[in-house]
Amino acid sequence: MDVSSAKMIGAGLAAIALAGAGVGIGLIFSSLINALARNPAANVTGPAYIGFALAEATGLFGLGIAFYILLIA
């Protein structure tokens, strides 16, 4: 197997990490919707977006490795 095919396979495998990002973001917004449904006056929307950014970042760390495998190494 030549290097460029191995790079493609490696990048594809590393991109599976984004599933965790999807689950994490879904959990955060599900609890946000639950909290707002119980108490519409609660100002938890700010921490919810901070949590979204941090969960998304963790998923994108995996995507960063995918791009590193595909493009740099």
Partner 1 sequence: MAAEAGPLAQFAIKPLIPIHIGSINASYTNSAAFMTLAVVLVSALILFSTRSASLVPSRWQSVSELAYEFIANMVRDNAGQEGMQYFPFVFTLFTFVLMGNLLGLIPYAFTFTSHIIVTFALAAVIFIGVTLIGIVRHGIGFLKLFAPHGVPIWLLPLLVPIELLSYCIRPFTLSFRLFINMMVGHMLLAIVAGFAVTFGIFAIFPVAVDAALILLELLVACLQAFVFTILTCIYLHDALHLH
Which stretches of the chain bind partner 1, using CB under 8 A? Answer: 49-50, 52-54, 56-57, 60-61, 63-64, 67, 71-72
Min separation Cβ 29 and partner 1, Å: 13
Residue number, 36 or 63, with CB nearest to partner 1: 63
Min separation Cβ 67 and partner 1, Å: 8
**Nearest CA to 45 among 60, 28, 61?**
28
Hunting for tokens 């969960």 — which residue is that? 55
Q: Strand ranges (DSSP E) for 1-73?
A: none
Output the six-digit token pair for 9.
């396979």
